């Protein structure tokens, strides 16, 4: 295989492999019964029609019944999980001897390494390999690794986090490999919770929730509430265009047979996003389990904090070169985009007209399905709710990707000021609300704006540097959430 190439799943696609017998499912918070055989939800949101037998199975599973060994029923359960409509409930289990190795890349962070190795020492049956990626004080790293019985490997010059993880991957042999950055602090039982996911043969990687540390400064409190590495408190299958579009490489467990040669060493930022997208593209499931939490240290200064956000933005261009519109900064149905845009421009009547047209189109798809109040009434409610749910995320994505351009436009053209202020206010309000309304609100909003502008500046700089505008191109396509059949059982 070429460098960075991943091993494909043996079965042609993961959705063809039934969920293991005995799996118990829990509904995603977006899940909703719209009729006896019509369900909605998932990520991206969609409408799906079940057969009567399939509807009975789904109802039983969500009431607590386990998935049986019947292949057809297991296939339906797999489709629910793959669509983000339901999630498997996982029970922790003990690690088997030789089941997992831990790889810790480190550069100039002896205190973080010391703390992490102490935590790792509490977990039995686990090999630990430290990869020193060109630390200036190599002797300190050597001394700490030796004191804790860890295997030490070294790069004479820094090659980047992806290359360091690959070195550790190549030097270990366990069927599962956990990557942990030296500046992370995992829960005591984090591995026993995550390894159980691999009892499902299509799972190629699992990641915990990564949160910022609790501190007293504005920056620390913002990181604890809204770190860009924190993907929230809801589980999900990780892929582009969903509520969990990526997971950070700071803490992730990978199946060796799926990992291939590992991370792309030519990427200094975004190598983890590239890795999980390639896993998903090969048919493997990457799962996000927020019940397990790992704390990741925040940057120690304002300059380094903003530089980190800028660097995240810079990764968009090389990722777009590899993954196309998976990197699209904005995804929207043109009808929803037009409705929200007309509201921002102060034309509510035209917005209502677009909304009515959307409802009429959906009503035709629902025709023949017995729904309370009739298909037309249900269609109006679904269209209105869909627009209301999409609008906050639309504002958030727009300002994060195009904030610097929007601010520049508002300075030059006064007519843009009101829409720009509205979008910025909506974007920060959404983030503040989702973060649990941390106080003081003014500090959070200010840092959120700085965060978004630094990231957007990085996206713009990356596009200029690489002469690729794909990372700035929105994905405006009609939603594919037709009333598609999901079960014929």
Domain's final residue, options 51, 73, 91: 91
Domain's final residue, options 36, 58, 91: 91
CA 143 to chain centre: 36
Does 148 lie in the same domain as 39?
no
The pLDDT value given to residue 76:
93
- The answer to whether 320 touches 464, Cβ cutoff 8 Å, is no
Does 252 lie in the same domain as 105?
yes
Distance, in Å, from the CA atom of 15 to the CA atom of 285, rounded to the nearest integer, reads: 9
Task: Spell out where 36-90 has E strands.
Answer: 38-41, 46-49, 86-89
The pLDDT value given to residue 482:
41
The pLDDT value given to residue 376:
59
Does 291 lie in the same domain as 404?
no
Domain's final residue, options 299, 321, 342: 299
How big is the chain, counted in residues? 489
Does 47 lie in the same domain as 180?
no
Q: Identify whether 316 is part of a domain.
A: no
Q: Identify whether 37 is part of a domain.
A: yes
- Split into its structural domains, the chain has a count of 3
Does 153 lie in the same domain as 79?
no
Q: Identify whether 321 is part of a domain.
A: no
Q: Identify whether 164 is part of a domain.
A: yes
The pLDDT value given to residue 8:
39
Distance, in Å, from the CA atom of 382 to the CA atom of 356, rounded to the nearest integer, reads: 11
Distance, in Å, from the CA atom of 309 to the CA atom of 448, rounded to the nearest integer, reads: 11
Of 206, 168, 22, 195, nearest to 96 (Cα)?
Answer: 195
Does 194 lie in the same domain as 335?
no
Whichever domain contains 237, its CATH number is 3.90.550.10
Does 108 lie in the same domain as 70?
no
Q: Which two tokens stand for residue 160?
A: 């980047």
Does 114 lie in the same domain as 65?
no
Consecutive 10-residue averages of pLDDT for the chain (489 residues): 40 65 92 84 81 92 93 92 92 87 94 93 88 94 93 94 95 95 89 92 95 83 88 91 91 94 92 94 93 88 92 92 87 72 69 68 58 56 64 77 88 84 83 83 89 93 89 73 44
Q: Which two tokens stand for residue 262?
A: 């590992």
Does 462 lie in the same domain as 383?
yes
Query: Residue 245 sits in which domain range?
Result: 100-299
Does 280 lie in the same domain as 233?
yes
**What kind and span of H or E run contains 226?**
helix 218-226
The pLDDT value given to residue 373:
45
- The answer to whether 463 touches 317, Cβ cutoff 8 Å, is yes
Q: Which phi-psi region, left, alpha or beta, contains residue 303 (left: φ > 0; alpha: ψ -120 to 50)? A: alpha
Pairing mode, strands 176-180 and 184-186: unpaired
Calculate the alpha carbon distances from 485 to 36, 80, 287, 369, 375 in Å.
14, 12, 25, 13, 18
Q: Is 246 helix (H, G, I), strand (E, B) or coil?
A: coil
- The answer to whether 85 touches 27, Cβ cutoff 8 Å, is yes
The pLDDT value given to residue 23:
93
Q: Identify whether 306 is part of a domain.
A: no
Looking from the CA of 101 toward its CB, the CA atoms found within 13 Å total 19
């Amino acid at each position: 295989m070429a460098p960075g190439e991943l091993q494909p799943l043996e079965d042609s696609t993961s959705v063809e492999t039934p969920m293991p017998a005995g799996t118990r499912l829990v509904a995603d918070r977006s899940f909703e019964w719209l009729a006896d055989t019509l369900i909605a939800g998932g990520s991206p949101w969609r409408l799906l029609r079940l057969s009567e037998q399939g509807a009975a199975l789904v109802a039983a599973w969500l009431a607590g019944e386990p998935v049986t060994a019947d292949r057809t029923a297991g296939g339906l359960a797999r489709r629910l999980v793959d669509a983000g409509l339901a999630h498997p409930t996982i029970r922790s289990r003990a690690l088997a001897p030789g089941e997992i190795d831990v790889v810790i890349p480190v550069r100039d962070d002896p205190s973080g390494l010391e703390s992490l190795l102490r935590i790792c020492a509490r977990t039995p049956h686990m090999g630990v390999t430290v990869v020193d990626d060109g630390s200036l004080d190599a002797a300190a790293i050597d001394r700490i690794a030796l004191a804790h019985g860890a295997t030490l490997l070294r790069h004479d010059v820094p090659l980047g986090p992806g290359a360091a993880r690959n070195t550790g991957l190549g030097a270990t042999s366990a069927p599962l490999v956990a990557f942990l950055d030296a500046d992370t602090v995992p829960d005591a039982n984090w591995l026993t919770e995550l390894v159980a996911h691999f009892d499902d043969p299509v799972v190629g990687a699992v990641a915990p929730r990564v949160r910022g540390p609790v501190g007293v400064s504005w920056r620390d409190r913002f990181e604890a509430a809204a770190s860009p590495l924190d993907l929230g408190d809801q589980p999900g299958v990780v892929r582009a265009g969903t509520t969990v579009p990526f997971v950070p490489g700071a803490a992730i467990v990978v199946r060796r047979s799926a990992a291939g040669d590992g991370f792309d060493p030519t990427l200094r930022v975004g190598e983890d996003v590239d890795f999980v997208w390639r896993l998903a593209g090969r048919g493997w499931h990457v799962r996000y389990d927020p019940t397990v939490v790992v704390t990741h240290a925040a940057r120690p200064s304002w300059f380094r904090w903003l530089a980190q956000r800028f660097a995240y933005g810079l990764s968009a261009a090389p990722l777009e070169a590899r993954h196309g519109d998976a990197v699209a900064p904005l995804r929207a149905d043109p009808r929803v985009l037009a409705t929200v845009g007309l509201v921002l421009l102060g034309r509510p009547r035209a917005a209502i007209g677009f909304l009515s047209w959307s409802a009429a189109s959906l009503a035709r798809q629902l025709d023949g399905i017995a729904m309370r109040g009739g298909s037309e009434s249900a269609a109006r409610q679904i269209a209105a709710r869909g627009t209301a749910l999409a609008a906050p995320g639309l504002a958030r994505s727009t300002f994060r990707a195009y904030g610097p351009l929007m601010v520049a436009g508002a300075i030059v053209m006064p007519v843009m000021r009101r829409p720009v202020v509205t979008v910025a206010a909506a974007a920060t309000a959404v983030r503040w609300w989702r973060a649990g309304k941390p106080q003081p609100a003014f500090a959070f909003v200010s840092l959120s704006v700085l965060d978004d502008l630094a990231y957007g500046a990085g996206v713009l700089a990356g596009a200029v540097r690489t002469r690729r505008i794909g990372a700035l191109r929105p994905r405006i396509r009609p939603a594919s959430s037709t009333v598609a059949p999901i079960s014929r059982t």
